[in-house]
Structures are given as structure tokens and as C-alpha cells.
């Protein structure tokens, strides 16, 4: 059984339909949230919320601060935080992918929905460093490169 108790977190005001608003994550910083994940019961502290990256920074006991998407948090998808789900990344931070199609250095990585592994890269061709690529695309036959260079992502100031 998985349950996370979010009722006490601050909400945005009621909307026009009279329904309770969604959780105000910024105002929830510092709040403690109780959860139950199968037979583990505990409390998680919301340490920070970065709205730009849509990530909560949470901490459980004395473990490292853990980044999680709010939708995963509200689904109580805490298996990785609790060390129950351990699906390792295949690519290390600092790995350099260079060939005729791409020149990328992996600078960060994280798990997202459905345990998919995503990597943030810096592109040595256009210097963009906010791109993300999923592991299968990074390692797949197509050897996906920088989406800024390919014109898929428009970045201000880079032509």
C-alpha cells in the first residue's frame, strides 16, 4: 500500500468551481509529509521547490536530498528514495559522447516518470547546457545529439 498525506500542505485558493486548489509547493517548503510505502512508514521534509525545473527537493531521514517531480511525489513514487527500486544509470556524469553527429558531455541525470533515466548534457558545439535526453535515445542507434543544434529547441541568444 502506498499513501502520502498531503492534506495539510498549503493550497492555492479555491477555484471557480469551488474545488480546493492545487498544492502551493513554494509555500510547502519546510513542511513535513507523512507517508506509507508498503510496510515503511515515515516522514519526508520538503526542503526546496524549483518551479523552473518543476522539482521538489525532499529529504528522508539522513539520506541525500532527492529531486522529484511533484506528480511523482503526490503518487508516492518513493521507491528510489527509499532504496527499494534500484535501476542503475548506464552512463556516468562526465561521459563525453563525440562523433560526427554530436559532441556532448553529460552533466547531470535523474529519474523521471516510469523510472526512465534522463541525462542533462552540455553541447560543445553550441555551448547549450540545458538539454535533456532520455537514456534510450542517448545510447540508441540514432545517437541522438543536441536538440538545440538540430533546431528542435529554440534557445535565446544561440543561433
Chain residues that interact with Zn ion, rule: CB under 5 A: 123, 125-126, 128, 146, 148-149
Q: Could you give the CA distance from residue 115 to residue 134 in angstroms, rounded to a whole number?
A: 11
CB of 78 to Zn ion, least distance (A): 35
Of 48 and 129, CB closest to Zn ion: 129
* Range 44-71 burial, b when 16+ CB lie within 10 A, else e: bebeebeeeeebbbbbbeeeeebbbbbe
CA distances (Å), origin 55, targets 73, 100, 151:
10, 34, 26
Of 125 and 152, CB closest to Zn ion: 125
CB of 104 to Zn ion, least distance (A): 8
CB of 54 to Zn ion, least distance (A): 23
Of 32 and 125, CB closest to Zn ion: 125
Amino acid at each position: 500500500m502506498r499513501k502520502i498525506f498531503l492534506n495539510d500542505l498549503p493550497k492555492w485558493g479555491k477555484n471557480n468551481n469551488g474545488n480546493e486548489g492545487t498544492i502551493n509547493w513554494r509555500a510547502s517548503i519546510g513542511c513535513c509529509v507523512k507517508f506509507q510505502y508498503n510496510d515503511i512508514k515515515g516522514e519526508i521534509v520538503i526542503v526546496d521547490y524549483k518551479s523552473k525545473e518543476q522539482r521538489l527537493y525532499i529529504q528522508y531521514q539522513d539520506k541525500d536530498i532527492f529531486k522529484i517531480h511533484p506528480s511523482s511525489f503526490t503518487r508516492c513514487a518513493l521507491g528510489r528514495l527509499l532504496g527499494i527500486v534500484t535501476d542503475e544509470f548506464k552512463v556516468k556524469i562526465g561521459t563525453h559522447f563525440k562523433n560526427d553527429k554530436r559532441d556532448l558531455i553529460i552533466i547531470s541525470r535523474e529519474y523521471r516518470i516510469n523510472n526512465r533515466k534522463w541525462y542533462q548534457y552540455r553541447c560543445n558545439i553550441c555551448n547549450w547546457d540545458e538539454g535533456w535526453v532520455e537514456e534510450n535515445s542517448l545510447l540508441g542507434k540514432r545517437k541522438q545529439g543536441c536538440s538545440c543544434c538540430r533546431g528542435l529547441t529554440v534557445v535565446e541568444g544561440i543561433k
